[in-house]
Structure 1
Amino acid sequence: MEQRRPARRNWLLVLDGLADPVSRSRDFTHRALTAWHWLPAATAEGRQAAEDVVLLVSEVVANACLHGGGAGALVLDCTPERLRIEVTDINPAPPVPAGSGGGRRRSAGAGWPGGYGLLIVDRLAREWGSRPGAAGKCVWLEVPCPPGTRCPPAGRDRAGFSGGSPARR
């Protein structure tokens, strides 16, 4: 009989220099969610939670590529209570949601697609924010874990990337 080791709490993917970092991040996240028993989920709620996480990772990594000078790393940190997603980039400017007045829109016009990734993050994440890094910033977000998630308890297997203040909703 095959014995399985417990899933690691922290998963790190270095994105700097990778071709197609968004797709690679989605695949990486899918593997982590499977290890933590988010997938295959027995309930519709669990499947939806996993799909939301993959969407959130895609949005934050794409934003790092488009607006942050390139994504540096993706960290997934799971506890029984929450999943924290962190993406680093080299732009020190904090992210600005579309329509907040602080961001620049493309000169092509308001009818162009895009610019709504942070609105998706704000809608799906329990909380999110950013913090300065040594060379740029880290954008982070947290979502609650569905029942049945098998992550090691807090305090074990720390990657050292957590921190920052939550965005108030």
Structure 2
Amino acid sequence: MARCRVFVRHCLEDGGWPDKLDGEERRQAVEEVLLLASEIATNACLHADGPRRLTVSGSGTTVRVEVADGSALLPVLRPEGGVPCGDGRFGGHGMRIVDRLTRGRWGSEAHGTGKTVWFELVRPEPSWTGLDRPMRSHGPASGTPA
């Protein structure tokens, strides 16, 4: 997950997101995106064959992160409190965290070789210009190994 977080952090820095925040507010906004990106990338490791592609893009005050993997199994929100993992612990909280922090702005799309899980996070700042295109993509589609 360290490579995932470094990649997403660099994309956010390169894109200037979030541009109107300073200091602690900026750090918190970036950490929120990193947490969410780590969660969907971790799910690709746990429930598929790992992430095949990681894409970060943005437009206006919104950042979008997508993780593609090779499993056709789409993510679902687990019940409050999680589900038993078999060792006395409970799991299945990840997508509920994604759902809450993004205020429901996440989803998944099946495609021929698996699926892409995405989320969008909106910041209230009025301008994050010039980023209506992918900032970077990492994986076979970009020619860079995942």
95 and 56 in structure 1: CA distance in 2 versus 1, 3 angstrom threshold: same
Number of residues of Structure 1 aligned to a counterpart in Structure 2: 134
Are the counterparts in 2 of residues 72 and 90 from structure 1 also a CA contact under 8 Å?
A: yes
Aligned residue among 30, 36, 39 for 1:59: 39
Letter in 1 for 2:33: V
Map residues 17-96 of structure 1 onto 2, 5 A cutoff.
Answer: 22-38=1-17, 41-96=21-76
46 and 58 in structure 1: CA distance in 2 versus 1, 3 angstrom threshold: same
Deviations 1:93-114 (A, max 9, x none): 11022327xx9753223x25x4
Letter in 1 for 2:95: L
1:75 aligned counterpart, secondary structure: strand
2:63 aligned counterpart, secondary structure: strand
Aligned-pair identity in percent equals 37
Are the counterparts in 2 of residues 92 and 132 from structure 1 also a CA contact under 8 Å?
A: yes
1:99 aligned counterpart, secondary structure: coil
Considering fraction of residues, name the structure with more strand: 2
Which entry has the higher C-alpha Rg, 1 or 2?
Answer: 1
157 and 89 in structure 1: CA distance in 2 versus 1, 3 angstrom threshold: closer
Aligned residue among 93, 113, 116 for 1:116: 93
Residue 145 of structure 1 deviates from its aligned partner by 3.5
Considering fraction of residues, name the structure with more helix: 2
Cα-Cα RMSD: 2.8
Match of 2:140 in 1: none
Match of 1:131 in 2: 109
33 and 146 in structure 1: CA distance in 2 versus 1, 3 angstrom threshold: farther
Residue 83 of structure 1 deviates from its aligned partner by 0.8
Deviations 1:35-83 (A, max 9, x none): 1223795153332211100000110100000012211111101111311
Residue 151 of structure 1 deviates from its aligned partner by 4.1
CA distance in 2, matches of 1:104, 1:44: 35
Normalising by structure 2, we get a TM-score of 0.77
Unaligned 5+ segments in structure 2 are 137-146
